Structure 1
């Protein structure tokens, strides 16, 4: 099965009140881990890469690895470029075979965000590629994109309606109180805001900053209309901690397989937990 656009899977997820987990991966082992978890759970899957990972590994390598995973697993899998502020890189990823891209122009005024998003839509729509955009500013750190807490802005529900209407964007990530990275305290998610946005916007909504949110809060956000849940930081921490544990027991270890295998297993366990929270177990077979 080839890589597919995430548009259909996300629309179906929203219509049936579950979410598709989207995992940021940085190595082949991380990619394999989330695919193995999806195979076990029979879950649709969105594999995500940051701009930094694309620059590090190259879009063609990433598309090739994800394509092999989709073909061998037979699962509905999309490959998504997360938080892209570089138009040229975004276009490069589309031509390389990415099936979903995020144009992040949320740091600009509303009209400029609309203009930049609409420009991406013209290219992506012709290629059958899903487009995600952000409205408001999600706080925290996403690689080299830093939004201080004082600068984080919650999305206005009416602006969300106008934004989707004016851009035609397929999926929307509204800022609703989550943050990138690990939370220092209890997340302050504005559930009433999610509900108001969902009532005005038919497009599937995306929950950014999904690492470390208590399970019941994830489930509630999904029930209100969040059809995609992003997980990045937690995945990196699990992967890195497993490697540290191996070297803690044997500082002289020099066989990458000895530390990559446990790291891969740690990521797979976390991915399965997130799939269960999103309610995506068994949904892959419904998309065929």
Structure 2
């Protein structure tokens, strides 16, 4: 089945009050784990590629891995650029076959963000490609994206931004953040702000970045086998499920994939120090990704059976 646009996927998600998971990919094992989980849950999928992933794996390798994955599935699958820095990188992936791109102008002024987003929208829409933009700033670090503090999305500005840019979906800042250390105190999201944005933009698909839950079992496993990620704290899953009923159609998940793989690999090396064949430790790591993604689809996103 060929790659699809998120348009129909998000329309169904909005109506059904669930979200579609956007899972970051870097290599074959991650793609296989996500695709297997999606097949088992009969869920639509968004696989997304960051600038860091493009540098690490190479766009041609990623496209060929996706080509192989699509040969073995009938699920609707979107290939999305995560945090595109400028028009040039968006052009490269659009021309390379991506069906959705994110242009991240959130670090610019409001007017400059509108300008750069509009440039990408014009190029993408001529080629039938979906455009996600961002308004507001998420604290934290992930790949090449970093910020010291959150700047929450202004609801009235969100309306103006969408109208003036023509972007198809909008990533908003309501308290999530990038990386494994999202909260220093009690985790919370600004649902009052989310509801206001949803009411001002009825039917419009919203996106949450930095929405990994930093699952405690993987943090504990990694630390038990030599890791040093104490104090990591993510977004509680019940808050994400609630957001999915308030207009959030896409929830990004990256850190949880990294933690699942790393924790299982650390455990494997500790228990089987004689193993040196990468298949011996990458196979259980792939299974960990599959299990984690299945859990997210069923219990957090609510999109099991939506394919």
TM-score tier, shorter chain, comes to: over 0.9
For 1:206, the equivalent position in structure 2 comes to 207
For 1:37, the equivalent position in structure 2 comes to 37
For 2:252, the equivalent position in structure 1 comes to 230
By how many angstroms is 1:46 displaced? 0.2
Q: What SS does structure 2 have at the residue aligned with 1:180?
A: coil
For 1:23, the equivalent position in structure 2 comes to 23
Which has the higher mean CA deviation after the structures are superposed, 114-123 or 56-65?
56-65
Deviations 1:21-45 (CA, angstroms, capped at 9, x unpaired)? 1101111100110000000000000
Structure 1 stretches of 4+ with a deviation exceeding 4 A read: none
Tell me, in whole angstroms, the C-alpha distance in 2 between the residues paired with 1:15 and 1:167. Answer: 24
8 Å contact from structure 2 (residues 106, 113) kept in 1: yes
- Structure 1 spans left out of the alignment, 5+ residues: none
**Are 2:178 and 1:180 equivalent residues in the alignment?**
yes
By how many angstroms is 1:252 displaced? 3.2
Q: Alignment partner for residue 152 of structure 2, among 154, 162, 187?
A: 154
For 2:305, the equivalent position in structure 1 comes to 282
Tell me, in whole angstroms, the C-alpha distance in 2 between the residues paired with 1:73 and 1:121. Answer: 30
- Structure 2 spans left out of the alignment, 5+ residues: 214-234
Tell me, in whole angstroms, the C-alpha distance in 2 between the residues paired with 1:226 and 1:241. Answer: 30
For 1:59, the equivalent position in structure 2 comes to 59
Tell me, in whole angstroms, the C-alpha distance in 2 between the residues paired with 1:189 and 1:272. Answer: 24
**RMSD between superposed Cα atoms in Å:** 1.2
By how many angstroms is 1:90 displaced? 1.8
Q: Alignment partner for residue 240 of structure 1, among 257, 262, 267?
A: 262
Note the 1:77-92 alignment, pairs <5 A.
77-92=77-92
**Are 2:282 and 1:260 equivalent residues in the alignment?**
yes
By how many angstroms is 1:107 displaced? 0.5
Q: What SS does structure 2 have at the residue aligned with 1:78?
A: strand
Tell me, in whole angstroms, the C-alpha distance in 1 between the residues paired with 2:140 and 2:177. Answer: 5
Deviations 1:33-60 (CA, angstroms, capped at 9, x unpaired)? 0000000000000001110111221212
Tell me, in whole angstroms, the C-alpha distance in 1 between the residues paired with 2:164 and 2:71. Answer: 36
By how many angstroms is 1:11 displaced? 2.2
Deviations 1:174-199 (CA, angstroms, capped at 9, x unpaired)? 11111111234432210011111011
For 1:221, the equivalent position in structure 2 comes to 243
Q: What SS does structure 2 have at the residue aligned with 1:3?
A: coil
Tell me, in whole angstroms, the C-alpha distance in 1 between the residues paired with 2:260 and 2:186. Answer: 20
Between the two proteins, the alignment pairs up a number of residues equal to 282
For 1:165, the equivalent position in structure 2 comes to 163
Tell me, in whole angstroms, the C-alpha distance in 2 between the residues paired with 1:60 and 1:125. Answer: 23
Structure having the higher helix fraction is: 1
Q: What SS does structure 2 have at the residue aligned with 1:186?
A: coil
8 Å contact from structure 2 (residues 51, 144) kept in 1: no
By how many angstroms is 1:215 displaced? 1.8
Tell me, in whole angstroms, the C-alpha distance in 1 between the residues paired with 2:117 and 2:238. Answer: 33
Tell me, in whole angstroms, the C-alpha distance in 2 between the residues paired with 1:125 and 1:186. Answer: 41
**Are 2:273 and 1:251 equivalent residues in the alignment?**
yes
Q: Alignment partner for residue 293 of structure 2, among 246, 271, 277?
A: 271
